[in-house]
Chain A
Amino acid sequence: MQYLREVLSAKELLANLTLREVKGKYKRTIFGQLWSLANPLAQMLIYTFIFSVIFTQTAPTGSPSGLKSYALFLLCALLPWLFFAGVVNAGTSSLVSNTGLIQKVYFPRIVLPLSQVGAVGFNWLFEMAVLAIALSLFGNFVLPWIPMVLLVMIILAVFAAGVGLLLSVANVYFRDTEHLLSIVLQIWMYLTPIIYKVEFVQNKSDQLGGLLGTPVTLIDLYRLNPMEHFVEVFRALLYDNRFPDWGDLITCVVWAVVAFVAGFVLFARKEKGLAEAL
């Protein structure tokens, strides 16, 4: 409890550290904040080229929105994913890369991984705003769903923060974490329905039936991935313009709470030893 109060009192420091990341990131670049769009746009072009041009796949139709664009279908899921991956990546190395600070000044160390959520989140907000404009230009009625989208963005941020907290501590004790992470994130991305629609997995699962004679199907395993639920929720809101499945929504909240509580508790327990362990 006392720890919680101390963390809350450091919110100004958290804001300042976030600002340091945001301001420092695109300093001395000509395009500045526009660089934040470069990565998702490049990926969008690559995947759209591969799937729409080479494999000539038809884009799924949003229902009830009626939108039919692979590029937008992709971006609705890719932007949340890139945010998540960005926070987890930056959060994981946040303690190790601030060794000098941790060994010289006392402050609640939890602000270091948390400030990464703010910094990456700031760029994400910008990217999502651009996406919302693009969707509107293509005839989607996004505006009424924006409060709901913002809410789910916060839930995803809490989830990402929890995972980041867990891994930041793990990385102090095992430096392999950050190297392993880049591979895990790559696999994780393809296990999440970002570049394809979840129906593909559903169809395959229906063909296969219960695995190894059990009633467990492929889709059951597939759905253990929390990011699958987040992506479905974002797509329902942005691409389809409908209220997401309650099951998905509740799963997202549960994962977010579990990850954050686990990360916070671990961090609170390990914080005192960090200066020595680094």
Chain B
Amino acid sequence: MTTAAVRVNDVSKKFRLYHERNQTLKSAIMRGRTSVHDDFWALNDIDFEVPQGSTFGLIGSNGSGKSTLLKCLAKIYWPDKGTITYNGKMAALLEVGSGFHHELSGRENIYLNGSILGMSKKEIDRKYDEIVAFSGVEQFIDQPVKNYSSGMYVRLGFSIAIHVEPDILVVDEVLAVGDAEFQEKCFGKFREFKRDGRTVILVSHAMPTVTAMCDQAAWINKGKLMTVGPVLDAVAAYTGSLDLES
């Protein structure tokens, strides 16, 4: 029995659906209240464990709440109920290149972005060459990133993020970046992660990707956890429900 890398305990997340929202002082004072709203529970008592060293997929239709769950896992949203506990260092990759400063060079942005993602200067110094080599923008590393093509931009961003080397990596569908060659490199990096016994949590719409990469998966529908278990079972349950609808 392996230990859990991430333990999600009865997590619920509520959003407010505003009928009236007074974000200006005038309206707040005039109406005597800041908002009128209904509660909408985007997640309802989600409870599962992600085993250590596994690659774990989160699947579901649009609006099912899987992105909300991902943001809770990434500590961007805080659950209204329940807790999430981590066994190790967590890093999230929801968007590549967030926090890049356009006027600064690729080199300066590696240090800036690396520290936003939680790396120390020493760590970045050590991994610097590897990051640059992986991104494949060696030639342009001293150019301001605003002159980068969009492909170079995301490759550099992805390369920094992947080199944070956390124990637990939370990834959104950012795999669809770069050309086929770069994607192959990314998959290779994920396999390496797995070999090192790190845990990856992945959200994707692409079932082939999920079945190819993950060994465990959870299917979420309308904020509720439907199935959790081996990837083929979860994917089968999910696609089965789609066939049933159509």
Q: Which chain A residues have a beta carbon within 8 Å of chain B's beta carbons?
A: 12-13, 16-17, 19-20, 23-24, 27-28, 100-107, 173-176, 180, 272-273, 275-276
Contacts and interface: CB of A to CB of B under 8 A. Distances in A.
Contacts of A174: 23-25, 28
14 contacts: A12-B120, A17-B112, A17-B116, A23-B108, A28-B103, A100-B95, A103-B76, A105-B99, A105-B116, A105-B117, A106-B76, A176-B24, A180-B25, A276-B15
Contacts of B26: 176
A276 B68 CA distance: 11
A12 B28 CA distance: 39
Contact of A20 (B25, B78, B98, B112): B112
Interface residues of B, number: 30
A106 B71 CA distance: 10
B77 interface: yes
Contacts of A176: 24-26
Contacts of B15: 276
A275 B77 contact: yes
B2 to A, nearest CB: 26
Contacts of B75: 106
B127 interface: no
Nearest to B15: A276
B111 A107 contact: no
The 8 A-B pairs of least Cβ separation, nearest first, read: A106-B75, A272-B78, A104-B95, A104-B98, A27-B103, A16-B115, A13-B115, A275-B76
B94 A104 contact: yes
Q: Which applies to chain B's interface (DSSP): helix, strand, loop or mixed?
A: loop
Contacts of B101: 20, 23-24
Contacts of B71: 275
Contacts of A28: 103
Contacts, number: 72
Given A101-B98, A102-B76, 6 more contacts: A13-B116, A16-B111, A16-B116, A17-B112, A105-B76, A105-B99
A175 B24 contact: yes
B152 interface: no
B28 A23 contact: no
A175 B78 contact: no
Contact of A24 (B28, B94, B103, B120): B103
Contacts of B77: 275-276
B94 A105 contact: yes
Contacts of A20: 101, 104, 108, 112
Contact of A175 (B23, B98, B108): B23
B151 interface: no
A101 B78 CA distance: 16
Nearest to A174: B25
Contacts of A173: 23, 34
A104 B74 CA distance: 9
Interface string B92-113: 1011001101011000100110
A12 B121 contact: yes
B197 interface: no
B118 interface: yes
A101 B25 contact: no
A103 B76 CA distance: 6
Contacts of B111: 16
Contacts of B28: 174
A105 B115 contact: no
Contact of A101 (B99, B108, B120): B99
Nearest to A276: B77
